[in-house]
Structure 1
Amino acid sequence: MAHFPERRSLSRRLKPYFTVFDPALSLILFLLLCTGLVTLSSAGHDFPGRLEGQIRNIIAAFVFMWAAAIVPPQTLLRLAVPIYTFGVALLLAVATVGIIKKGARRWLHVGVDIQPSEIMKIATPLMLAWYFQTRAGILNWKSFAVAALLLLIPFGLIAKQPDLGTALLVGGSGFFVIFLAGLSWKALGALFAAGCAGLPVAWSMMHDYQRERVMTLIDPTSDPLGKGFHIIQSTIAIGSGGVTGKGYMKGTQAYLEFIPERTTDFIFSVYSEEFGLVGNLVLLFLYLLLIGRAMMIAANAPNLFTRLLGGSVAMMFFVYAFVNMGMVSGILPVVGVPLPFMSYGGTALITLGLCSGILMSIQRHRKLVQT
C-alpha cells in the first residue's frame, strides 16, 4: 500500500515565520513604543499627522524586525562582507557626488534621497563580528589593528560629511565589538591616553558649529537667546517636572513651544516635564530591561560571531539612550541622536527594528541548536 507524505496545514507551515519573536524582548519594545506614542501625541499636538506618521514608521520597523528575525545568523555571517563593502562604497559616493543639505553632504539621490551612513550602524559591527569569527583562536595585536582600521574607515567618512552624531553611534557600535572580542585593559588605557593627548588636534579639526556646541555645553547662558536657547529651555522643562510631573498634556514648555525639536531629539524633555522624576525612573527601568535582555541573548549565543553581534546591539541601545538623555539634560553636547523607540522618525526606528530583529534571530537560532 502506497504511503503519501502527510500534508501540513497552512497554519503549521506558516507557524515558523510567526514564532520568531522573543516574548520578553517584544514586551519591552511594546512598552517603550506605547510610551513614545503617548508622549508624541502630546509633544506633537500642533504637528498634524505626526502621530499617524509615527504609527506608519512603527509598522515599517516591525516588518524589518520580522524580516531580520527570520534570517538565520549563518546568513548574516555570509552577508557581512558584502553589506559592509556596499555601505563603504555608498559613503565614498556621498563624498564625491552626494547631495548637500544645510551645509552637510550626507545624502545620495537614487530616485529618492537616502542616507548611507544609517547602513553602517549595522554593517560595521556585522563586519567586525565576522572578522573576529574568522580569527577565532589566533587573535593578536595585528588582529585588533586591522579591526580598528575597519572601524575607522566608515567613522572617518561619516565624520567628514559632517555627521558627528551618526559617526559616534557607528564608532561606538564597532568599538564595543572590538572590546568584547578581548581588547585588553592596558590597550584600552593606552587608547584613552592617546585620545586625551589628541584632543587639541581634534578641536582644530572640528567645524565652527561643532566647537560652538561644546562651548554652549560649558556655558549655555553665554548666548541664552541663541545657541544656548535649546539647552536652557530643555533643562527648564526637565526640572519643572518635579517628582511626579505636571501631568499628561500639561507641560507648559512644550505647549508654549519653548522646547525645540520636541517630537524628535528633545522628546525626553516633554516626557520629563509631564511625568517627572517618577516617569523618568520608569523609562530608565525599561531601557535597563531592554539592554539587560539584549545582553542575556548575547551571553547565551552559540558562537563568537553571534555573541559579539548581540553584545554590540545591546550597547548600541545604551549609547542611543545615554547620549540622547545626556545632551537633553545638558551634560553632553547636542549631536542629533534620537531617543530609541521614543523619538519621531522612520530611519532611526527602522535601524532599531533591524537590530531588535537580529537579537531575536540569535535567540531563535540558539533554541534551534539546543533542540
Structure 2
Amino acid sequence: MILFDKRILSHFDFIQPFLVLPIVILSHVLISEANEALATKQYFYFSIGFLVFMFFFLMPLRKMQWLIPLIYWFGIVLLLGVEFFGTTKLGATRWIEIGSFSLQPSEIMKPTFILMLAYLIKKDPPPKDGYGWKDFFKFSFYILLPFFLIVKEPDLGTALILLLTGYITLFIVGVRTKIWISLAIIISIASPLLYSNLHDYQKKRIHDFIAEEPSYHVKQSIVAIGNGGMSGRPKDEATQTHFKFLPIATSDFIFAYSSERFGFIGNLIIMTLYLFLILHLLVLNLKLKGDYLSSTVATGLAVLIFIYACVNILMTIGFAPVVGVPLPFFSYGGSSFITFMSLFGILQNLITFKFRDEYKILG
C-alpha cells in the first residue's frame, strides 16, 4: 500500500467540490422528478465522471506535459475523422461510431484545447506589456484550427465556445490592448460576411431571437419561470414540466424547470454557486501566478463555465438565441459532465501535486 505525505491532502482544493456538489445534487433531484429513467442513467454518468476525475487527478501530469501537443494533434485528427467517417444525427455530423460506442471529438477537444493553451503559455510566458502580434498569431493558429473544424460539422455553438474561451483566456493572461481594438474593428466590418455564411437553421435561430415574438421554446420557458414566482411550486404543480409544455426540461431548459420548482430564490442560490465557483477559479489564477500551466487551466475552466452558464441562462429567458448549450453539472447528459470532471481532475492534479517531488512516498 502506498501512503502519501500528508501535504498532498493539504494542497487539495476542497472549495471546488464544496461548490460543485450542491449543483449536482439539485440537478439529480429535478431530473428524478421529471424522468426516473434518466435519473437512473445519471448514476452511470456520475460513476464514469468520478473515474475520469480520479484518472486525471492521479496522473503525473507535470512529468507528462510533453505529451500535451501530441494529445492536441490527436484531437485534431479525430475532428478531421468526423469529416470522413462521421455519423450524422439530426442533420449534423459530430460523432464517430466505434462499434456500439459513439465518440464526440468536439467534447474531447475542450480539455485538450485548454491544456494546449496552458502548455503554450508556460513555454512562452507573457512579457510585462502583454503578447504582441507574433505571439498572438501563434496562439490564434491553435485556437482557430479546432474552431473551423467544429464549425464544419456543423456545431457553431461548441465552436464559438472554444473560440471565446481561447481568446478570453488570452485576454486575462495578457495581450496588448491595440490588438484587441484592431480585432474588434475587423470583426465589426466582417460581420455581414460571417452572417451570410451561416447555415439556414443558424440564421433562423438569430431571426427568432431578434423577432418581436419569441420562439415556442422560449415562450414556454418564460411561462415556467413565471409560474415559479419567488419560492417555486410543489412538484405536482409544476405543470409546464410535467405536462410536457416545457421542451427539453431536463437538459437545455433545466434552468426554467428549476425556476418553476424552486422559484427566484432557488435560482438565485444556483447562480450564486456558479458565481463563487468562477470567482474562486479566477482567484486561483492569481494565487498560482508564475505557475502558468496551473493558472491557465484555472482561468480557462473559469471562462468555460462562465460562457456555458451565461448562454444557457440567457437562452431560457429569451436574451440569447436557442442553442444546445448545457448548464455545467446541472443539465442532464454524460458528455458535458464527463468533460468538466476531467477538467477539474486536471486542475486538482496540478494544484495538489505542484510540489510532488518534495512529497515522501512510502511503500
Structure 1 length normalisation: TM-score? 0.89
Q: 2:246 aligns with which of 251, 259, 267?
A: 259
Match status 1:241 vs 2:231: no
Match status 1:88 vs 2:95: no
1:360 matched to which residue of 2? 348
1:338 matched to which residue of 2? 326
1:150-179 deviation line (CA, Å, top 9, x unaligned): 111100110111011211222122223322
Distance (whole Å) between structure 1 residues aligned to residue 21 and residue 87 of structure 2: 36
SS state of the match for residue 74, structure 1? coil
Shift in Å, 1:218: 1.4
SS state of the match for residue 341, structure 1? coil
Shift in Å, 1:28: 1.2
1:22-65 deviation line (CA, Å, top 9, x unaligned): 22111111111111111112232xxx411111122112111111
2:306 matched to which residue of 1? 318
Structure 2 length normalisation: TM-score? 0.91
The residue identity in structure 2 corresponding to 1:234 is: S
Does the aligned pair in 2 maintain the 1:129–1:177 contact within 8 Å? no
1:4 matched to which residue of 2? none
1:120 matched to which residue of 2? 109
Does the aligned pair in 2 maintain the 1:93–1:108 contact within 8 Å? yes
1:60-89 deviation line (CA, Å, top 9, x unaligned): 111111222222441463221011100001
Structure 1 gaps, min length 5: 1-9
1:271 matched to which residue of 2? 258
Does the aligned pair in 2 maintain the 1:21–1:69 contact within 8 Å? no
After superposition, the Cα gap between the structure-2 partners of 1:307 and 1:248, relative to the gap in structure 1 and judged at 3 Å, is same
Distance (whole Å) between structure 1 residues aligned to residue 120 and residue 236 of structure 2: 49
After superposition, the Cα gap between the structure-2 partners of 1:18 and 1:269, relative to the gap in structure 1 and judged at 3 Å, is same
1:294 matched to which residue of 2? 281
1:188 matched to which residue of 2? 180
Q: In terms of mean alpha carbon deviation, does 154-163 or 12-21 score higher?
A: 12-21
Distance (whole Å) between structure 2 residues aligned to residue 68 and residue 91 of structure 1: 22
Map 1:44-193 onto structure 2 (within 5 A).
44=35, 48-75=36-63, 77-111=65-99, 112-136=101-125, 139-193=131-185
Distance (whole Å) between structure 1 residues aligned to residue 205 and residue 44 of structure 2: 33
Distance (whole Å) between structure 1 residues aligned to residue 103 and residue 11 of structure 2: 29
Shift in Å, 1:229: 0.9
Shift in Å, 1:109: 1.9
Shift in Å, 1:15: 8.1
SS state of the match for residue 108, structure 1? strand
Shift in Å, 1:240: 2.1
Structure 2 gaps, min length 5: none
1:122-157 deviation line (CA, Å, top 9, x unaligned): 111211221122222664311111111111110011
Match status 1:214 vs 2:206: yes
1:73-114 deviation line (CA, Å, top 9, x unaligned): 414632210111000011111112211121111111222221
Shift in Å, 1:358: 1.8
State, as a whole percentage, how many aligned pairs show the same letter.
34
The residue identity in structure 1 corresponding to 2:110 is: K
1:31 matched to which residue of 2? 22
CA RMSD of superposed structures (Å): 2.3
Does the aligned pair in 2 maintain the 1:80–1:123 contact within 8 Å? yes
1:204 matched to which residue of 2? 196
Does the aligned pair in 2 maintain the 1:84–1:120 contact within 8 Å? yes
1:176-227 deviation line (CA, Å, top 9, x unaligned): 3322331123322222222222211111111111111111111263xx7xxx
Does the aligned pair in 1 maintain the 2:136–2:175 contact within 8 Å? yes
* Count of aligned residue pairs for this structure pair: 354
Does the aligned pair in 2 maintain the 1:73–1:306 contact within 8 Å? no
Shift in Å, 1:370: 8.6
Distance (whole Å) between structure 1 residues aligned to residue 198 and residue 184 of structure 2: 19
The residue identity in structure 1 corresponding to 2:78 is: L
The residue identity in structure 2 corresponding to 1:336 is: G
SS state of the match for residue 49, structure 1? helix
SS state of the match for residue 96, structure 2? strand
The structure showing larger relative contact order (alpha-carbon pairs under 8 Å, at least 6 residues apart) is 2
Shift in Å, 1:14: 10
Shift in Å, 1:115: 0.8
